[in-house]
Amino acid sequence: EKADRSKPVNIEADSVTVDDLRKVSVYLGNVVLVQGTMTLHADKIVVHQDAEGFNSATAYGNPVSFRQKRDGVDEYIEGYADRMQYDGKLGTLQLFDNAHLKRGADDLRGSYISYNSNTEFFEVKGGNNTAGSPSGRKGRVSAVIQPKPAKPGPAAPATVPLPPKPTNGIQKNP
């Protein structure tokens, strides 16, 4: 959700090494990062801080998985990849290597997927490390976009069926 960006970031792990010189914290072991509705599970997360605090995080896992609620819809987006890069300020998430994104019934695979939770815009690229696509062809992007059920709008006016055209001059009785 858009509001996630203004929420605190909570991280749990077995251990963390804080390097104050480079402002980098390395979390290891069953790492869980939560920010608002977004949850990210990884084996290792490297957090970069700046003077204001949490800036960005790089997650490594086998695979890394994330889940986030979509804005205004009771639906979640899920993603899996070998590596993920999360920018806390921009609210963007990049999935690298065997990237797989599921939005409701939609299913996207590629070697790289970038997803912006503010605009809900995502971009998928093929490459060697593409998640096993259904067609099994490597290096290609695979996307399954489910048709959206037609929204039950106002009843369309009944159309009067046209009389069938006479063929060879013979008038057909309807």
138 binds other proteins (CB under 8 A): no
Judged by CB under 8 A, which stretch of 14-22, 61-69, 136-144, 165-173 contacts other proteins?
A: 14-22
Nearest to 128 by CA among 99, 168, 105, 149: 99
Q: Does 23 bind other proteins (CB under 8 A)?
A: yes
Residue 40, number of CB atoms within 10 A of its CB? 24
Angle at 89 between CA 60 and CA 13, to 5 degrees: 35
Which 3 state secondary structure label does DSSP give 5?
A: helix
When binding is defined by CB under 8 A, the residue of 12, 75, 78, 123 that contacts other proteins is 12
Whose Cβ is closer to other proteins: residue 44's or residue 140's? 44
Q: Which span (47-55, 60-68, 118-126, 166-174) binds other proteins, by CB under 8 A?
A: 47-55
The total number of residues written for the chain in this structure = 174
Q: Report if residue 140 touches other proteins, rule: CB under 8 A.
A: no
How far is 89 from 68, CA to CA, in rounded Å?
A: 16
State in angstroms the smallest separation of the CB of 15 from other proteins.
4
Residues 84-123, interacting with other proteins (CB under 8 A): 88-89
Nearest-angstrom CA–CA distance, 5 and 15 = 25
Q: Does 42 bind other proteins (CB under 8 A)?
A: no
* Cα distance between residue 138 and residue 79, in whole Å: 19
Q: Which residues of the chain form contacts with other proteins (CB under 8 A)?
A: 5-21, 23, 25, 27, 47, 49, 51-54, 88-89
